[in-house]
Amino acid sequence: MRESIGTAIATPNIAMVKYWGRVKNEYNMPLNSSLGITLDFSLKTKTSVVFSHKLDRDRVIIDGKDRIAGQNNEKIANLIFVMNKLKKESGIDRGTHGLVVSQNSFPSDAGLSASSSGGAAFVLAANDALNLALSRKQLSILARHISGSACRSVYGGIVGWKRTPADGTEESYGEEVFAWDWWPELRDIVVILEEKKKKVPSSMGHDITPKTSSLYKCRPEYAEQSFEAALEAIRRRDFDRLGMVIMRESNSMHATMLDSMPPIFYLNDRSLEIIQASEELNEGSGHIKSAYSFDAGPNPHLFTTQRYRNEVLRMLDGIDGVRMIIEVGVGSGPQMSEEHLIDDNFRPVLQHSKP
């Protein structure tokens, strides 16, 4: 087989209705439905993949560092698992190894869901390198095996991911529910307060919270209601309704995290200050202008619309400790690229500027 390099660029998918909690040992089969926005190319992950018998081992290089699968790095172990699945599917011989080179245009440890864009970019690039022509649904299932939220990042626009049905093991995948240009005024103002790696990886949290939190018992049902309410608000382009769902969802998920044993908390004092400032901005106007949402980290995503973005940015002027602000819109989904991060001698291409 002639080795060909596949390269894809994908962007994070940030949840408005949050996935937290999975069916054990099932490669991220979710206990509740979630709904997220695939971001535009302001934040992106570029990944190149090649398979060759000239490589002596599988290798995964992210942002210039070799990543080793292990207990503390479930996502890399999952990626290798998916890589082996794809090798098998393509029928290449067992002595063939894979090289993955990936680069993020944003801090990958800041809780900005680099694993969603990374998982999606990997499956698309590998699919291309092996010439498999898998469907989006198949790619979404594979991406989910790496990181749950990655199953949403293989699509553009606003993407839903339904909970695992109680009766079965049927595969679980994302689906685009609104095209990227349905609501062009929507914005995610990403505020970087901290760039440290999270203390509790989300993969651990997805197991600990359902097992130990008593508040979690009502969480999956609440998320289902939020899912329906968010869909309706987006259908009507009603930001007052959507913003309320977004904030309550984030608060609900973080409440179950804190109620876990050991307790899991990702927010810091600055995060709480931004919640407070958003509440004041919204309350004073009778509208939702800044809808805060936090993933497994302290950095807020402030959802807003074009109409209110200046007010949100002004609000942030009054907060100390803001390191970076990135304003992002809804994205059209991953793209393939011919500019590879691997050269013809299977060496990573060093990029001086981010992709």
Contact 146, 78 (CB under 8 A): yes
Indicate if the alpha-carbon torsion angle 115, 116, 120, 123 is positive or negative: positive
Nearer Cβ to ligand DP6 (52/299): 299
Q: Residue 11 interacts with ligand DP6 (CB under 6 A)? A: no
- Rule CB under 6 A: is residue 146 a binding residue for ligand DP6? no
8 A C-beta contact, residue 341 and residue 48: yes
Residue among 143 and 281 whose Cβ is closer to ligand DP6? 143
Cβ at position 261, least distance to ligand DP6 in Å? 19
* 148 binding ligand DP6? (CB under 6 A): yes
- Residue span binding ligand DP6 (CB under 6 A) among the ranges 87-95, 127-135, 147-155, 176-184: 147-155
Structure tokens at 7: 């390269």
Q: Is residue 149 close enough to count as binding ligand DP6 by CB under 6 A?
A: yes
Residue placing its CB nearer to ligand DP6 in the complex, 143 or 189? 143
From 12-20, 178-186, 272-280, 339-347, span contacting ligand DP6 (CB under 6 A): 12-20
Residues 271-330 that bind ligand DP6 (CB under 6 A): 295-296
Compute CA 190 distance to the chain's CA centroid, rounded to the nearest angstrom. 14
Note whether 34 binds ligand DP6 by CB under 6 A: yes
Interface with ligand DP6 (CB under 6 A), residue from 32, 48, 203, 252: 203
Answer yes or no whether residue 147 interacts with ligand DP6 by CB under 6 A: yes
CA 349/CA 329 separation, integer angstroms: 30
Backbone dihedral region for residue 64 (phi beyond 0: left; psi -120 to 50: alpha; all else: beta): left
Contact range with ligand DP6 by CB under 6 A, out of 88-96, 144-152, 207-215, 225-233: 144-152
**Alpha carbon 176 to chain centroid, angstroms:** 15
Residue 18 engages ligand DP6 in binding (rule: CB under 6 A) = yes
> In which element (H, E) is residue 17 found?
strand 13-17
**The token pair that represents 257 in the structure block:** 């995290």
Beta bridge pairs of residue 37? 14, 158
Our CB check for ligand DP6 shows the closer of 102 and 147 to be: 147
Q: 96, 51 in Cβ contact below 8 A?
A: yes
Sign of CA dihedral 14, 44, 157, 140: negative
* Shortest spacing between CB 5 and ligand DP6, in angstroms: 26
Q: Which amino acid is present at 224?
A: E
Q: Are strands 59-62 and 97-104 parallel, antiparallel or unpaired?
A: parallel
Residues that contact ligand DP6, how many (by CB under 6 A): 15
Question: Which positions from 204 through 263 interact with ligand DP6, judged by CB under 6 A?
Answer: none
Residue 126 Cβ vs ligand DP6, minimum distance, rounded to whole Å:
19
Please name the residues in contact with 288: beta carbons below 8 A apart, sequence gap of 6 or more. 239, 240, 242, 243, 244, 247, 282
Q: How far apart are CA 256 and CA 216, in angstroms?
A: 6
With CB under 6 A as the contact rule, the residue among 5, 11, 19, 334 that binds ligand DP6 is: 19
Shorter beta-carbon distance to ligand DP6: residue 18 or 163: 18
Nearer to ligand DP6, 45 or 202 (CB): 202
Interface residues toward ligand DP6, by CB under 6 A: 15, 18-20, 34, 113, 115-116, 147-149, 202-203, 295-296
